[in-house]
């Protein structure tokens, strides 16, 4: 194993708490910020499916997020000017990591290449890394591979960019579907439980749903398992 490739939203960073905090700061305390964050996130997969299906050309995630944000602002009857809307959309660039993410990644990179394998665009992931102190060896976004997970090209082209075979890579994610797609491409897999990603009433991805290569409760636990 040479590279550990990480899902980012939910696995490495706590998007829900981070987005809710930004919504309160920009839209005011009268908005149900967690409901707003959940609704915005609910449009994530449908927006990417338009690209995956070929209904629209490849479009970076910042643009898809902005289109979804405008929909949610309308639904919540919130009127923001252009600058405030742009600032709120860039909240995805400022997501905070889970407490174990930075120390875990720091340990893992002593033995492996660590990099994101994310649907985020490069500028988003770069800003996030600078803000959160994520110690990536490389920052790979969806633009170089021109594909969104779980399309096979998202995994296979990322491995190729790194000069690696799929069996030299491990996908690390809190989402069973992501790991299943990576496994189909020949990757090893590591499930990291994030039972609060979607809040206290989360019902999905609470436990591994297959015999993944590793199943752990934190990135630091994965470092323990890999003797880092």
How many domains does one find in the chain? 2
Secondary structure (DSSP) of 140-193: --HHHHT--TTSHHHHHHHHHHTT--GGGEEEEES-HHHHHHHHHTT-EEEEE-
Looking at the fold, whether 153 and 201 belong to one and the same domain comes out as yes
Looking at the fold, whether 42 and 83 belong to one and the same domain comes out as yes
Looking at the fold, whether 177 and 114 belong to one and the same domain comes out as yes
The domain boundary, picked from 48, 66, 94, lies at: 94
Looking at the fold, whether 178 and 140 belong to one and the same domain comes out as yes
Looking at the fold, whether 164 and 209 belong to one and the same domain comes out as yes
The domain boundary, picked from 76, 94, 112, lies at: 94
> Residue 88 is part of which domain span?
15-94
Looking at the fold, whether 51 and 148 belong to one and the same domain comes out as no
Instruction: Give me the CATH number covering residue 199.
Output: 3.40.50.1000
Looking at the fold, whether 161 and 89 belong to one and the same domain comes out as no
The domain boundary, picked from 47, 70, 94, lies at: 94
pLDDT given at position 228: 97
**Per-10-residue mean pLDDT, the chain, length 228:** 98 98 96 97 96 96 98 97 97 98 98 98 98 96 95 97 98 98 98 96 95 98 98
Looking at the fold, whether 161 and 178 belong to one and the same domain comes out as yes
pLDDT given at position 93: 98
pTM (2 d.p.):
0.96
């Amino acid at each position: 194993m040479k590279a550990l490739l990480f899902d980012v939203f939910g696995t490495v960073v706590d998007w829900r708490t981070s987005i809710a905090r930004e919504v309160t700061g920009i839209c005011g305390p009268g908005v149900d910020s967690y409901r707003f964050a959940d609704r915005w996130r609910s449009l994530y997969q449908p927006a990417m499916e338009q690209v995956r299906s070929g209904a629209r050309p490849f479009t970076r995630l910042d643009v898809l997020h902005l289109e979804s944000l405008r929909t949610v602002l309308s639904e919540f009857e919130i009127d923001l000017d252009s600058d405030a809307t742009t600032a709120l959309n860039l909240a995805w660039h400022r997501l905070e990591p889970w407490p174990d993410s930075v120390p875990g990644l720091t340990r893992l990179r002593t033995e492996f290449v660590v990099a994101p394998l994310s649907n985020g665009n490069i500028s988003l992931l770069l800003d996030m890394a600078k803000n959160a102190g994520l110690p990536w060896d490389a920052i790979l976004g969806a633009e170089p591979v021109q594909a969104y997970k779980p399309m096979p090209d998202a995994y296979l082209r990322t491995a190729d960019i790194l000069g690696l075979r799929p069996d030299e890579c491990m996908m690390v994610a809190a989402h069973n579907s992501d790991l299943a797609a990576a496994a189909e491409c020949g990757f090893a897999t590591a499930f990291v439980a994030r039972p609060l990603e979607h809040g206290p009433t989360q019902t999905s991805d609470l436990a591994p749903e297959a015999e993944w290569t590793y199943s752990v409760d934190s990135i630091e636990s994965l470092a323990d398992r890999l003797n880092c």
